[in-house]
Chains A and B, each alone.
Chain A
């Protein structure tokens, strides 16, 4: 990426505190804080869900009560009080608009600030945006176009009422409600999320994307995404996050489930920029996410993530390579600055024959942050000729931060070929000197080097996302030098 002098000057002058830190005042319909069976039933009722869904939630809730919050991750934080959180908040002006004109103008304004003007996106980028403001899906575009191809792209609550057979079949099939503490919590109280169904043989003509935003103070956000790609279909799904500045910690415990049937391919890209807390490490979002995909025969799931935000990140997008010849990929950049903590990585579970997986993880830690890679590569007894390549590199900036690598490799088949390598280093002084010589100041030089270091992953992102991600890396690193 090249910069003009004008751009450079502009950026240096700007105060880059937290670009997207603002707060929209929309009246919300919020449940009082606390969590019990009544709250779960109330959420279900508010969303007008059928009985089986309520039961499903209750079952998850009952299981959650028996579970303990895990603490094995390499992060330290004050555990949230789950009874002090309000589990439901929805913008008051009830959704279901046919056209954008009906949408609350203040909301539209928010999206403008985020740089996702619906109209523009509609016209220019060809991206259908299912915008999630707090919990309820407010506007869905391009739905009609997608409908013609038989693609269902809607909010998960809509899917529950309109396509119950699909939801019933797939929800919890990859991430069961009993999977872990946060998955159980999410299953009990999930407010909304996206649902996507690609029929057999259909190649989704556009990138599907959802913007998540936490808005209401003191409300946790519990998203649930379900993507189903039928035989020989293809879909690329984008997810991007920004959240307003808040002083108290906000909890985000989402679930993403991907199901790729025979020969299908799902590409799931995330740019995560939740509020990381201020420079003193105060505030920020807790991001405890369970993401998992299931690959049937010849299927492929590719996770790409750029993680720059959140005070605490705890996230392991995984692939279960169940079908023969299936492929799993994981490309990640995790950047932590100030007092951020990230414990992220992936799990590749090889079950089918000739399964392949690739893991490229780039960690960058600056300031007082802690950045950990934690990954599992498991080759099952039946997984003949399984192949894995893992590479995790860490870059350290300053001597107050830490970079950690915890790879787990478990192999039970002799034909497996597993490689793992990891390096930890800092930016070479000669590299910076070289840039300085050519009139690039140190801060820019670092941005340049970091971009080069991250290129391998950035290249995997869809075009429009890549540019945004690159920008994000720069903003997040600002002030980490000298």
Chain B
């Protein structure tokens, strides 16, 4: 039985277990029908040309973990951004962990998708936003069909969230192999502001496949800062589908730090529905071994006078594969668009591969759009220069790599995150240097 068949047959069982309003039920039905038609994407599809899901689909995944598995805070503390005060929404094997979480309904909503889906109070919000920002896509439909749990965040009009919000997904490995499909909904109403940190972490070497969908609505003059930290075991795979719909005068920034995981696919999509919008996409990828990270981005400029900035840096060693597939789409009416896209990569070993496909599709004439892409290696002369100053080869290399990634890091606005990431980079490169001085 293939994973697809297994998912389809377990859909019925799943439907019986969740007691949901009928209109969501209808959306699920449509979604599973769509998935039955399309199935998992294959390399024949242009968007998946360089990433094959085959190796991760052959595992015999369990979809429904029995019940909440208690975790001790001190065991997982290191995965939290714990040195600052935050709201936290924690899921263990896809199930909400009240013991580890710190949710709120005061001023803002930082709570659970399941309660938002089930409580009448939230019905108008769900009707208005749920499943509205996503296009028809196989992986998204699969997630929609199995929507049950995830983070629900709503920042009301003109409110700035006092603390950053952390979304943590742990998998315990109590199942042989686990597939989870969290569904997040994030709404920033007019003039709202917040910072969000998302992380997926498995605690054992058992295979995990996460197919997460996050819908984000950034309304008029709202500002979002979103950090995705991907540093999982090499047995865990992640398919991250994020869709951000922006209204006029808003700004949204998503920064993705990919250091771990077996296969990571980031589908990051921005839709600009208004003038004077700014969209920022940044990423640092440092991987080795047989890891595979694929950034697939889309910025759709639909209105005039908007901006977008993309900056992705990658360092690849071992047999790792890095993919960047970025698309800027400028509609006919989107005059005066200013879109920039940059993708720089360093290959450390001959066995590493880098595939880059920066695309521009432009239908408006009065625009400034450019993209640049480089693939290269360490500058030998710079290395030599540092060595002549008494810096050992390894450290000199680390310094250069850090400098390479620093352009992206410098825009991280939460110092604690920056500190952690720089530490992580030092660990990745195998040196003990404090870059954060």
* Contact assessment for B350 and A413 in the assembled complex, using a CB-CB cutoff below 8 Å: yes
Residue numbers in B under 8 Å from A423 (CB-CB): 369-370
Q: Which residues of A contact B50 (CB under 8 A)?
A: 410
Does B71 interact with chain A (Cβ within 8 Å)? no
Verify if A63 is at the interface (C-beta below 8 Å from B).
no
Is A417 among interface residues, defined by CB-CB distance under 8 A? yes
B41 is an interface residue with CB less than 8 A from chain A: no
Chain A 389-426 against B: per-residue CB contact (8 Å), 1 yes, 0 no?
Answer: 00000101111111111111111111111111111111
Q: For B376, what are the chain A residues with a Cβ–Cβ distance below 8 Å?
A: 416-419
Point out the residue from B348, B365, B372 that lies within 8 Å of A401, measured CB to CB. Answer: B365
Asked if B358 lies at the interface with its beta carbon under 8 angstroms from chain A, I say: yes
- The contact string, 1 if C-beta is below 8 Å from chain A, for chain B 193-207, is 000000000000000
Bound-complex Cα distance A412 to B376 (A)? 11
- A:196-211 near B, CB below 8 Å: none
Residue-wise interface mask of B (326-353) relative to A, using a CB-CB cutoff of 8 A (1 in contact, 0 not)? 0000001001000000000101111111
Q: A72-B46, A417-B376 are in contact. Are A411 and B368 (CB under 8 A)?
A: no
Q: Which residues of A contact B345 (CB under 8 A)?
A: 411
Say whether A421 contacts B371, CB under 8 Å: yes
A407 and B370: CB pair below 8 A?
no
- Is A460 in contact with chain B by the CB < 8 A criterion? no
Q: In the docked arrangement, what's the CA distance between A240 and B11, Å?
A: 62
Please tell me the size bucket of the interface on A.
35 or more
Q: How far is the CB of B161 from chain A (nearest CB, A)?
A: 38
Contact for A398 among B365, B369, B372, CB less than 8 A: B365
A444 at the B interface (CB under 8 A): no
- The answer to whether B374 has its CB under 8 Å from any CB of chain A is yes
Inter-chain contacts of B425 with A (CB < 8 A): none
Q: Please determine whether B353 and A412 come into contact, CB atoms closer than 8 angstroms.
A: yes
Chain B residue at smallest Cβ distance from A397: B365
Dominant SS at the B interface?
strand
Task: Assess the B357–A407 pair: CB atoms within 8 A.
Answer: yes
Also in contact, A416 and B347, with CB within 8 A (given A411-B375, A422-B371): yes
Interface centre among B349, B355, B360, B374 (most CB of A within 10 A): B360
Decide if B417 is an interface residue (CB 8 Å cutoff): no
Q: Is the CB of B364 within 8 A of A404?
A: no
Chain A residues with Cβ under 8 A from B414's Cβ? Answer: none
Determine whether the beta carbon of B369 is less than 8 Å from that of A381.
no
Q: Which of B358, B361, B365 contacts A407 (CB 8 A)?
A: B358
A400 to B363, CA, bound (A): 7
Tell me which of B349, B354, B369, B373 contacts A420 (CB under 8 A).
B373
- CB of B375 within 8 A of CB of A424, answer no
| B377 at the A interface (CB under 8 A) | yes
Cβ–Cβ < 8 Å partners of B352 in chain A: 412, 414
Per-residue interface assignment for chain A, residues 416 to 453, with 1 indicating a CB less than 8 Å from any chain B CB and 0 otherwise: 11111111111000000000000000000000000000
Nearest CB of A to B196, in Å: 32
With both beta carbons as reference points, the residue of chain B lying nearest to A74 in the complex is identified as B361
Given contacts A411-B354, A415-B377, A424-B370, contact A405 B360 (CB under 8 A): yes
Q: How far is the CA of A399 from the CA of B374 in the complex (A)?
A: 31
| Of A397, A404, A412, A415, the contact of B360 (CB 8 Å cutoff) | A404
A residues within 8 A CB of B361? 402, 404-405
Q: A49 to B377, alpha carbons, bound, how many Å?
A: 53
A394 proximity list for chain B (CB < 8 A): 360, 362
Q: Are B373 and A404 in contact (CB under 8 A)?
A: no
Minimal Cβ-Cβ distance residue in B for A396: B365
List B contacts of A404 (CB < 8 A).
359-362
Q: Is B356 an interface residue (CB 8 A)?
A: yes
CA gap between A293 and B103 in the complex, in Å? 64
Any A CB within 8 A of the CB of B367: yes
Report B-chain residues with C-beta under 8 Å of the C-beta of A408.
355-357
B366 at the binding interface (Cβ < 8 Å): yes
CB distance from A264 to the nearest CB of B (A): 29
Q: Is the CB of A414 within 8 A of B371?
A: no
A399 to B377, Cβ gap below 8 A? no
With A72-B46, A414-B347, A416-B375 in contact, is A422–B360 under 8 Å at CB? yes
Query: A409 contacts B349, CB within 8 Å?
Result: no
Q: Is the CB of A417 within 8 A of B377?
A: yes
Contact A410 B369 (CB under 8 A): no
Q: A461–B345 Cα gap in the complex (Å)?
A: 34
Task: Judge whether A418 and B365 touch: CB under 8 Å.
Answer: no
Contact check, B347 vs A405: say whether CB atoms are below 8 A apart.
no
Cβ–Cβ contact A409 & B377, under 8 A: no
Closest to A424 in B: B369
Task: Check if A402 sits within 8 Å of B362, measured CB to CB.
Answer: yes
Q: Chain B residues with Cβ under 8 A from A403's Cβ?
A: 360, 362
A368 CB to nearest B CB, Å = 11
Q: Is A425 a contact partner of B368 (Cβ separation < 8 A)?
A: yes
Chain A residues within an 8 Å CB radius of B375 = 379, 409, 411, 416-418
Q: Per a CB cutoff under 8 Å, which of A401, A405, A414, A421 touches B349? A: A414
**Which of B350, B374, B375 has the most chain A CB within a 10 Å cutoff?**
B375
Report how far A412 CA is from B50 CA in the complex, Å: 13
Inside 8 A of A411's CB, which chain B residues have their CB?
Answer: 345, 347, 353-356, 375
Contact A399 to B350, CB < 8 A, known contacts A418-B376, A424-B367 = no
B339 nearest CB across to chain A (Å): 9
Measured between beta carbons, the chain A residues less than 8 angstroms from B350 are 381, 412-415
List residues of chain A with CB within 8 A of the CB of B367: 396, 424-426
Q: Are B359 and A414 touching (Cβ within 8 A)?
A: no
* Chain B nearest CB, measured from A341 CB (Å): 13
Chain B CB within 10 Å — which of A405, A414, A426 has the most? A414
- Interface residue from B362, B369, B373 paired with A409 (Cβ < 8 Å): B373
Contacts of A399 in B (CB 8 A): 332, 335, 363-366
**Which chain B residues lie closer than 8 Å to A409 at the CB level?**
354-357, 373, 375
Q: Are A419 and B373 in contact (CB under 8 A)?
A: yes
> Are B372 and A421 in contact (CB-based, < 8 A)?
yes
Min CB distance B144 to A, Å, is 28
List the A residue with the shortest CB-CB distance to B374.
Answer: A419
Q: In the complex the two chains form, what is the Cα distance from A168 to B386 in whole Å?
A: 58
Closest to A409 in B: B356
Q: How far is the CB of B380 from chain A (nearest CB, A)?
A: 10
Residue in B335, B363, B377 with the greatest tally of chain A CB atoms within 10 Å: B363
CB distance from B21 to the nearest CB of A (A): 42
Min CB distance, B324 to chain A, in Å?
A: 9
| B373 close to A410 (CB less than 8 A) | no
Candidates A379, A416, A422; contact of B370 at CB < 8 Å: A422
Q: List CB contacts (< 8 Å) of A324-375 with chain B.
A: none
Q: How many Å from the CB of A340 to the closest CB on chain B?
A: 15
- What distance in Å separates the Cβ of A407 from its nearest Cβ neighbour in chain B? 6
Nearest CB of chain A from residue B365's CB, rounded to whole Å? 4
- Interface residues in B362-407 by Cβ distance below 8 A to A read 362-377
Q: What chain A residues lie within 8 Å of B363 (beta carbons)?
A: 399, 401-402
Q: Which residues of B contact A420 (CB under 8 A)?
A: 356, 358, 371-374
**Given A411-B353, A421-B372; 4 other pairs, CB 8 A cutoff:** A402-B361, A419-B373, A422-B370, A424-B369
Would you list 24 pairs from A and B whose C-beta atoms are within 8 A, ordered by A residue?
A72-B46, A379-B375, A394-B362, A397-B365, A399-B335, A402-B363, A405-B360, A406-B359, A407-B373, A408-B357, A409-B354, A410-B50, A411-B353, A414-B348, A416-B377, A417-B374, A417-B376, A418-B373, A419-B372, A420-B356, A422-B358, A422-B360, A422-B371, A425-B367
Going nearest first, the 10 A-B pairs with the smallest beta carbon separation are A396-B365, A414-B347, A418-B375, A409-B356, A420-B373, A405-B360, A423-B370, A424-B369, A402-B363, A421-B372
Binding site for B on A (CB under 8 A): 72, 379, 381, 394, 396-426
